[in-house]
Structure 1
Amino acid sequence: MKANRLVFENSFDVNPRTGIIRFNGNRMVLKSAEALGIFRRDIVKTLDMERAKGFLLRYGWACGYSAGESVKQSYNWNDIRELIMAGAAMHTLEGVVSVEIELLEVDDHKFEMEGRWYHSYEAAEHVRHFGFSEESICWTLVGYVAGFLAKIYPKELVVFEDKCRGKRDDYCSFIVRTKEHAAPEQLDILKYFKEDSLKHELDAAYKQLKELNHSIVHSETIQKQLTNAMLEGYTLNQLLNMLSEGLHSSLIIEKVNMHKPIATSFKTVEDEQYFIKNHSHIRKRLHKFPIMTMNKQLGNLTVIHDEALTREQKMMIESAISVFSVYLYIQAQIAQSQWQRKSDFLDEMLNGQVAIERMIKKARNIFNFDPNKSSRLIVIAVGFEETETILNYLTIEYPSIECFIKNDEILMILEEQTENSKHVKSFMKQLVTKLKNRFKQVTFHIGIGHNSNELSDIGHSYQDAKLVSRFLQNITPSETQGAIYEDFQHIILFLKTTNPKELIVFYEQVLEHLLKHDQQNSTAFIQTLEVFLNNGGNVNKAAKELNLSIPGFRYRMEKIESLLQEDLRNGEGRFRCQLAIKVYYAVRSLQ
């Protein structure tokens, strides 16, 4: 018998009375490719992709073995090569795939065959339900060839798919070799054809389901314990310790964009040192999990664990994160409520409508500073959306200083150790340096108000600090700057009533030519003018202070008046120049 004599009409028989269809003597059932695709989809969803692969390979093997038995018994075959070619023809006639054999070498010791598959229904259906794959997926076709050849060839063969439409190749191709001539990686497919494979897979699936059920119960228990502990008022560190005991791992919680943890539970000193050394990078031992609520990330949970986390551990972590997210969200809401109370307190102090005794009592309940001590308000204007991130940083850096948010600005209450402004300037420089180093892409404008000896005056210190901060924003909008009240006390009244930009324009217009002359000629006319004005326009006193002769001083003042285009003999001219100089020195103090 020749393989090319196998034709559909001779092999296919339909009995319309009984409804039985036979193909090459075997009863067949017609099913659509779409139905087989749905069957494949459900198998994958039930068993997972790896187990479905084994099931479909064995299913194809059973179909191929049956076909091989039928074809071998139905005809007289003088040549095994023709019998093999008949198997390819059978596969094509069944409508499964179009087979084209390119290489076939067979003897008693070696078997080698290569061919192509076109129009594979299996590849098309897999892509339809699962998309393209990273590996070949015509598993029933591979199984069919393996089963067919197992019936007609005595030695064990290895069949594998080299190319596949299911992984974006132009066509599917298969290769068959005797086991001893196959590469080691090609032998891996043989494990799927073992007789006990399905039972093993089902046992493994049952074991995994049992383990999964145990993991679910365990994670739910952890979640319940953490939730109850949170409701009982446990701290975040205490909650973290509970989870750490269950995971047998060290744990850290950090807020977003923060380098210092807000809660830790280290099992060993080595873990703590490892985290300190590596916490800014995700390394092998550090497993990070975001803590989210309402699509907003509140922080990160870091787990220090030597090996990959098990599924049960991951489930426990996910359950715990839901509790941590609630805890951090509640803490954020409490913080915002406290900020609002502190903001309202400052507004009440500015209005001055509440008795001071009552305000002191209220301050003790709201703030952590001593209302009986002198203090200064600090206003930090932030050119950055995440003001809370910066507030969290300042809270960690300055745990003893009151910090909160008011109108998108950060406020700090600095208790005075001494009335010497040098101490305040030193603190301000340190604060500016820390913020610039930590938030390199953010611009800050920091104003520190006057020293308030009484609680009733703290609202005015806040006003002054805010005026200084606003003035800095106008002078250097793209550069971080900080200044204290003493640098601006001579013009603070004008800052309250005048737009800062107008003050800057005013001093530049009044002093422009004088400052340009000093710069170009290395003179000090601006200092001469300042001394003259500070002495109320008294020539004799000003000349004496500068160690100049009266004629020499008058000559210098005539030159100054010509540059200023101002009459310094009347009060209006002297006032304009006095104000311009005060603004000039306030700006200069920042340079």
Structure 2
Amino acid sequence: MEPNQVLLNHDLLRIFQKNDLLYCNNERSVIIPTLAFGVLQRDLIENIGIERMKSFFFKYGWHLGKEDAKAVIDNDSLSFAEKIEYGPKIHALKGHAKSKITDYQLEIDGNKVKSIRYLGKWEKSFEAAQHIENLGKAEEPVCFTLTGYASGYVSALINEVVIFKELQCEGQGAPCCIWEGLRLTEWDEKGEELQYSHKELPVIKELEQTYQKLLIEKNNLSFVTKIHADLTDEVIKGNNIQSVLDIVNHQINLPVIVENIHHQVLAKKGINVEQYKPFKHEFNDFLKKNLPIKNTMVIHLPSGSRLVTPIFLDEKIIGYCSFLYSNENIPNLDIDSMIIGRVSNICSLLFFKEKTELESMERVKGHFLEEIISGKYVSASEIIRKAGFLNLNLTDCYYVLYLSYQVTKQCREKELTLHTNIFETVSSFFNEKQSNVLISQRADSLLLLIPENQLKVQNIEKNTHSLLSHLKKHIKNVSFLAGISKANDNIVDAAVAVEEGRSAVRLSSREKPITSFDELGVIGVLINEHNEKALRKIIRDTLGKLYENLDSNKIELIETLYHFLVNGGNLEQTAVQLALSISGLRYRLNKITDLLKQDLRNPQVSFQLLIALKVLKIIDYHLFEK
């Protein structure tokens, strides 16, 4: 090969070899395959992100265009417009893309460019092709080197920043790249998003800035890590949420609040009750109008800003942790978001620990109740002594509450989960009231032994009403019925009290969900004597043919008669309860009268029938379960 060999001789581009080295327009050059560029593009995106890569390649293209502009900038034989038109030609000769100007507007006043706007297209862009090859189709234009080249070339010619931007790109799957070029000042509102393109910080400066940012992040992370370590120590020591908030408030000097899902404040630091009231009301209003908060977010409210994050337990939101800011205090989200996330995690751990302890205690108490009922203990003193270990005073009177529940067809919750949720909801109800009771779970029912000294100011009936309201609010698609035993003073007779509660609940209904054993009167006395044969004889003698050969139709008639008698013969009220028309109810009552051969309006007859029906519903309750 000759020492100096011309490989390409063009007015705009001359490529030759000299001493076995490659030169392009007298500049030492190298040939790099587009495949290598694509690998560099991919690796840069993976390591520094698309935004930094965008700036990197734009600047790279800018300097390429600026150098090529030197070849024509001093050529006085060319008009200004011709100098600009040479840019796409040089671009194409170097293999970047097939480039073409499709339209332009150029206004020149002497040597000053007053207005410039160029439109054009690129075909077969090497940059777009490599992006698709290595990364697939993009959501936005990707020819940063090409736009940088055009911007640098024209900016060098007019000595003013001109920015070229793609309107569509082959990298997005478009048939060709469409671009537009304007002075930076003429991009109007679009100029802000193009600021990255003409910032020409040296790499060393960028590294310095990056180092400073990393140093700040390192210091922030160290600060957050120290707080997290201090909070973890509190958990290890067995301390509570309040001690956790004390540490957080001391470190960041911000009011911090932990609330449960019902907006009750569980712990607070740095703010008193009166100061918090406006924050609380505004937060409650926000939650009512918006979806539940599932991630850390800032809420701007009239009283100030609130950085809030949910507290999770068993994949459910059980409360919120919040940092409060006055209107003059600007949140430092970078660090505060990290801290509040760790506070939330610590709160979750503490709640889980508390839940586990309570569940363990409730299991022990439930087992103890089953032992009492089964007759394992023969003396009251032994039971009372062991109850003392559970901080339970069983020396006074107590009640047994028999709580049964039935799931409706609309309920989609898994059976095991549902039973657990019901147990936990009942347990939390009494824990919130600071009432120490014994709870035992059975199939579709709960047994509660409630000492009279734990009822506080409410009597047993009001307390049970409150419990059922609480359950109705928190457990959907489940109906609850309750039966209350008599007040018993001998703990050894707890099994008798259980049977009293069980008997009472069988007379409870949707219209009257709570029944006390005292309401059964003589029926309760008879049932307690366990004379089932005599009771069934009373039922047969009283109900006659209505009780013979029981089937679904007769059970339906028995239910109708029961509600009619309980309602004192009121047709309208009975029809509403049974969801019947008056005429439908009259038809059933006529059939009942024909079977009984008795006048239902006779007080003596109705009294005997009602007693027989109540006894039937207690000893054969399964016949009436739906």
Give the TM-score of the pair, scaled to structure 2: 0.69
1:443: Cα distance to partner? 3.5
Alignment partners' CA distance in 1, 2:467 and 2:567: 36
Q: How does 1:120-199 map to 2 (within 5 A)?
A: 120-123=125-128, 136-164=141-169, 171-186=176-191, 189-190=194-195, 192-196=197-201, 198-199=203-204
Determine whether 1:483 maps to 2:515: yes
- Alignment-derived partner of residue 373 in structure 1: 396
Q: Quick one: percent identity of the two aligned structures?
A: 19
Matched, 1:219 2:224: yes
Contact 2:503-2:618 within 8 A present in 1 as well: no
Alpha-carbon distance in structure 1 between the residues aligned to 2:29 and 2:507: 90
Measure how far apart 1:224 and its partner are: 1.3
Match of 1:251 in 2: 256
Contact 2:161 2:198 in 1 (8 A): no
Q: Which residue of 2 aligns with 1:301?
A: 321
Judge which range, 181-190 or 206-215, deviates more: 181-190
Closer/same/farther in 2, CA of residues 518 and 346 from structure 1, 3 Å limit: closer
CA shift for structure 1 position 341: 0.3
Partner of 1:290: 310
Letter in structure 1 aligned against 2:62: W
Deviations, residues 514-567 of structure 1 (Å, cap 9, x unaligned): 67998999699xxxxxxxxxxxxxxxxxxxxxxxxxxxxxxxxxx99854169x
Local SS of the residue matching 2:395 = coil
**Which of the numbers 223, 241, 250 marks the counterpart of 2:246?**
241
**Aligned residue in 2 for 1:550:** none
Residue in structure 2 matched with residue 579 of structure 1 by the alignment = 612
Task: Give the match for residue 400 of structure 1.
Answer: 435
Deviation at residue 167 of structure 1 after TM alignment: 6.4
Aligned residue type for 1:359? I
Q: What displacement does 1:187 show?
A: 5.8
> Structure 1 38/154 Cα, relative in aligned 2: closer, same or farther at 3 Å?
same
Distance 1:196-1:101 versus aligned 2 partners, 3 A rule: same
**Kindly tell me: are residues 218 and 585 of structure 1, through their superposed partners in 2, closer, same or farther at Cα, counting changes over 3 Å?**
same
Deviation readout 1:152-210 (Å, 9 max, x if unpaired): 33343233333445667675432222345442542663464244364543333212111
The amino acid across from 2:224 in the alignment is: S
Q: Which one of the candidate residues 442, 446, 462 is aligned to 1:426?
A: 462
Quote the offset at 1:150 in angstroms.
Answer: 2.6
Q: 1-side partners of 2:531 and 2:156: how far apart?
A: 99
Q: Distance in 1 between matches of 2:29 and 2:359?
A: 73
1:351 equivalent in alignment to 2:374: yes
Do the aligned partners of residues 428 and 319 (structure 1) sit closer, same or farther apart at CA in structure 2, a change above 3 Å counting? closer
**Per the alignment, do residues 200 and 279 of structure 1 end up closer, same or farther by CA in structure 2, a change over 3 Å counting?**
farther
User: Paired residue for 2:333?
Assistant: 310
Are the counterparts in 2 of residues 160 and 186 from structure 1 also a CA contact under 8 Å? Answer: no
- Separation of aligned partners in 2, 1:13 and 1:57: 25
Distance, in Å, in 2 between the alignment partners of 1:410 and 1:266 is 42
Whether 1:87 and 2:90 are equivalent positions in the alignment is no
Aligned pair partner of 2:596 in 537, 561, 564:
564
Counterpart for residue 263 of structure 1: 267
Residue 459 to residue 168, structure 1, CA distance change in 2 (3 Å): farther
Of 293-302 and 446-455, deviating more is 293-302
**What is the SS of the residue equivalent to 1:196?**
coil
Unaligned runs of 5+ residues in structure 2 are 1-7, 288-292, 294-298, 408-412, 536-548, 572-590, 599-606, 622-626
Deviation of the 1:275 alpha carbon: 1.8
Q: The residue matched to 2:382 in structure 1 has which SS?
A: helix
Question: Are 1:510 and 1:564, in contact at CA under 8 Å, matched by a contact in 2?
Answer: no
Are residues 424 and 320 of structure 1, via their aligned partners in 2, closer, same or farther at CA, if it must alter by over 3 Å? closer
Instruction: Measure the CA separation in 2 of the matches of 1:32 and 1:294.
Output: 55
Answer whether contact 2:507 2:618 (CA < 8 A) is retained: no
2:37 matched to 1:36? yes
1:274 aligns with 2:279: yes
Report the Cα distance in structure 1 between the residues aligned to 2:139 and 2:532, rounded to whole angstroms: 69
Cα pair 1:222 1:320 within 8 Å, conserved: no
Answer yes or no: is the 8 Å Cα contact 1:55–1:198 preserved in 2. no
TM-score norm. by structure 1 comes to: 0.73
Contact 1:376/1:413 (<8 A) preserved:
yes
- What is the deviation of 1:94? 3.4
Mark the CA change 1:519 to 1:300 in structure 2 (over 3 Å): closer, same or farther: closer
Q: List alignment gaps of at least 5 residues for structure 1.
A: 1-5, 525-558, 567-573
Counterpart secondary structure, 1:267: coil
Q: What is the RMSD of the two structures over their aligned residues, measured on CA atoms? A: 4.7
Contact residue 401 and residue 412 of structure 1 kept, 8 A: no
Question: What is the aligned length?
Answer: 528
User: Are 2:399 and 2:452, in contact at CA under 8 Å, matched by a contact in 1?
Assistant: yes
